[in-house]
Amino acid sequence: MLYKTALGVAISAALSLSVSANQDIEKITITANKFEQPLSDVLASVEVIERADIEASNVRDLPTLLGTQAGIQVNPNGGFGQNSGVSLRGTGSGDTLILIDGVRTGSATLGQKALSNVPLNSIERIEIVKGSRAAVYGSDALAGVINIITRQANNISLDATFGSNNYQNYQLAGAVQKAGLKTAFNAGFEKTDGFDVLQGAGPDDDGYENKNLGFNVNYSDSQLGDVKLLGQYSEGFANYDSGFSPFDSTVENNEFKNYQIALGWSKTYENQSHRIDISFATDDSDNTYTDYFSGDALTSTFITKRSQIDYSGQYTFNSEFNISGGVNWYNDDVSQSSIVFDEQSRDVLAVFVGAYFDNDQVLANLTLRNDDDEKFGNETTYTAAAGYHLSEYAVFRVSQSTGFKAPTFNDLYYPNFGNADLQPETSLNTEIGLTVNYHSTSVDVAIFRNDIEDKIDYDANFALANIDEARYEGVEFSLSNQVFGIDSDLNVTYLTAENTVTGEQLNYVSKQTLNWALAKELGDFDASISMQYRGDREGSVSRLGSYTLFNVAGNYQLNDHIAFSLRVENLFDREYNVVDSSSDFVTGDVYYYNTPERRFFVGASYQF
């Protein structure tokens, strides 16, 4: 009933819109189908975060930024740099494919990307596509895709921010352009003393540091086409606490070193376009901890080296119909890790093709992909979607897609832990949605269901096996508008996530989430206040209560060159728990990962 009511209200609103209004400038996405499309033509739920949004909010890390979007829940194990579970529509962190400039990234041993280590100063734009996109991107896109597009600054700028827990952040970004050659760059240094992140473990501050550098070189020529060379590098550390170490241990530390470099060429002709990308990436993690029994400090090194080659093309038959397709190859190599895996590399070769129809009334697309995995053989996935323009401003859509996630190297080959007989998890995703864009008001409603089978979990003998099934279903509602000169952004999600084998609710998934932000410009000053509500949910050893947080931000443009910023997080200093760790066998006390108290951040920037 909730789904029907929400969708019915949105459809009624869409049909009642006046046809004399002018539409706002259309936003473009490149992530949904690997070519540029207006958001109104994409038959999926898409969120776009621009650089201007990042700077206006003064948010300090990527997980916090993502947590403001509909359908995303973030479960951090403490403060900056700590492991942060980013859940899209209730699924696990490894069920969302993370791309940087379209390049697959992250650890092939863990099967996910440490988003807390991606510096915000390196980001120009983020595109979030919900629903399985395996037919375009292959494994790991069971719940969707998050594509992080790196910085493409125009003006040279210097920024410095200071805050609670001795937080320091320094940024430099800019660009140099001459004729058809543009070189953009970004650099940053971030450091904090942090706070004690885990109850019942070594009582110490858990600090974080990140040094990063990136560049984006773009050469355009009418005959040659566009050539791009992109690179991003970051290194640093995060102290952490572990419930598996002795109580008084304080050596727990994770040092990371990540980089990627990509070379791309693209060319558009009258009715066709072609693109080739070659990339190399490394995810390097040195994890130091104390052995619980011997008391010795040990270090484990996990290194993923990934090579990737992509070709994609598009052929336009006429104004209503085009096809696109491509070939994708990548290799994951973990041979330089300190753990000796039985298999140390894996190749995947894939081909995909999609057909897209749009006659200004009816939209339809069908995409097919086959992945030939060196370990698992062939996996075929599809996305089928159709849409209808209810009016000039409203599009109704329906889609169904399949996906899969290959087991990680840890799942398969970790000594005394892995199971080499594991098979990929598979998914079936269905969505019905409506998008309305009218003047300064936009509405999006999505009703979704995602069934995942052959989920990997521990069986009765504490061995990994394909034994679980899960269903994630719910409704998302987003509304952006302007009233009395105040910009309002609201999104609400109702979600259930259930293990369909046991009937139990899945851990760390709130049924109700709400994000609401209000912003106002007053000349050279702008201010915003945001609210975040999370309903109660099951933890690993306890039931976690609901909580509501408020944050405020402000920016003042002193002149053409100098600006100041402010952000206060957890304005009312609310005590709350997001993730539980363990319980005391004797007293029954539950130990939680600590969450930040009220925090202040002030900054200044200079534009040359």
Contact (CB, 8 A) for 361 and 386:
no
CATH of the domain at 37: 2.40.170.20
Contact (CB, 8 A) for 299 and 288:
yes
Angle (CA) 15-17-19 rounded to 5° is 110
Strand partners, 148: 100, 126
Q: How far apart are CA 39 and CA 219, in angstroms?
A: 27
**In 244-278, which positions are buried (b, 16+ CB within 10 angstroms) versus exposed (e)?**
ebeeebbbbbbbbbbbbbbebebbeeeeebbbbbe
Q: Nearest to residue 313, comparing CAs of 33, 41, 101, 46?
A: 33
Element (H, E) at 53: helix 51-57
Quick count: other Cβ atoms within 10 Å of Cβ 59?
Answer: 23
Number of domains in the chain: 1
Going from the C-alpha of 90 to that of each of 142, 471, 592, the distances in angstroms are: 11, 9, 21
Question: pLDDT by residue (tens digit) across 236-275?
Answer: 999 999 888 888 888 999 999 999 999 999 999 989 999 9
C-alpha Rg value of the chain to the nearest Å: 24
* Confidence (pLDDT) at 26: 62
Give the CA count within 13 Å in the CB-facing half-sphere of 25. 1
Q: Sign of torsion, CA 71 77 78 79?
A: negative
N residues, the chain? 608
Which residues of the chain fall short of a pLDDT of 50?
A: 1-24
Element (H, E) at 88: strand 84-88
Q: How far apart are CA 252 and CA 562, in angstroms?
A: 41
The distance in angstroms from the start CA to the end CA of the chain is 56
Per-residue tokens: 452: 């995942």
In sequence order, which residues have a C-beta less than 8 Å from that of residue 284 and are 6 or more positions away? 256, 257, 258, 301, 302, 303, 304
* Confidence (pLDDT) at 29: 78
Question: pLDDT by residue (tens digit) across 145-170?
Answer: 999 999 998 889 999 999 999 999 99
**Domain extent at residue 592:** 2-607
Q: Sign of torsion, CA 112 99 96 310?
A: negative
* Confidence (pLDDT) at 202: 78
Q: In one letter, which amino acid is 549? A: L
**In 4-33, which positions are buried (b, 16+ CB within 10 angstroms) versus exposed (e)?**
eebbeebbebbeebeeeeeeeeeeebebbb
